[in-house]
A and B are shown apart, each in its own frame.
Chain A
């Protein structure tokens, strides 16, 4: 398997623009997680899905953030409108039933 695949790897966008981050989890995994990493706050869980169903989105900072998982092989994290304080690395990760978790390489977002 190619692992967890995220796109884009890097994005620079202007404040107010919509940003869509994409994730393809490992085939057969039933849980998918979106994390955000910054120097100040470390790794923060934004939202996670079990069997494509959102379980806990309490980590989503504001209504500007939304996430979907339309099927077992694809998820998106959308920020609309984006703000400079959203600049961070966004990681997608997947696992099967509480076993070893696998992370993607991350999407590096800069909002100017």
Chain B
């Protein structure tokens, strides 16, 4: 059974700092991996999707990497801003493309001005 772990559970950084959020998964046979953002009281918004054949994806100040063999992904946020404060969740889709995502519990990020 696929399990997704995110460490740390919470992180507080000063504005402007570059930071890395970590995600690990137990079964390397995945179809894709996604990073989501969740603001308080809101649903999840997809940030980046990495297919199993890809090593990384970039969107603005965000960069996500994938190392399938080691079962790890990282989300890099450059020049963090208070508006980046949210919970970031990692999710993997098992080998078949029609199967549901398996989510980690997220990392709650606070960027202090």
Contacts and interface: CB of A to CB of B under 8 A. Distances in A.
B62 interface: no
A16 B36 CA distance: 35
Nearest to A4: B43
B46 A98 contact: no
Interface in B14-64: 31-32, 34, 41-46, 49
Nearest to A31: B98
Interface centre among B89, B93, B105 (most CB of A within 10 A): B105
Contacts of A106: 42-43
A43 B89 contact: yes
Contact of A43 (B41, B45, B93, B103): B103
Contact of B46 (A35, A101, A105): A101
B44 A103 contact: yes
Interface residues of A, number: 22
A110 to B, nearest CB: 14
Contact of A101 (B34, B42, B102, B104): B34
A51 B82 CA distance: 41
Interface centre among B97, B100, B105 (most CB of A within 10 A): B100
Interface string B87-98: 001000100011
Contact of B98 (A35, A43, A45, A98): A98
A93 B43 CA distance: 9
Contact of B100 (A4, A33, A97): A33
B44 A100 contact: no
B98 A103 contact: no
Given A43-B89, A98-B93, A98-B98, A104 B49 contact: no
10 contacts: A31-B98, A42-B106, A43-B89, A43-B103, A50-B98, A56-B100, A98-B93, A100-B34, A101-B46, A108-B41
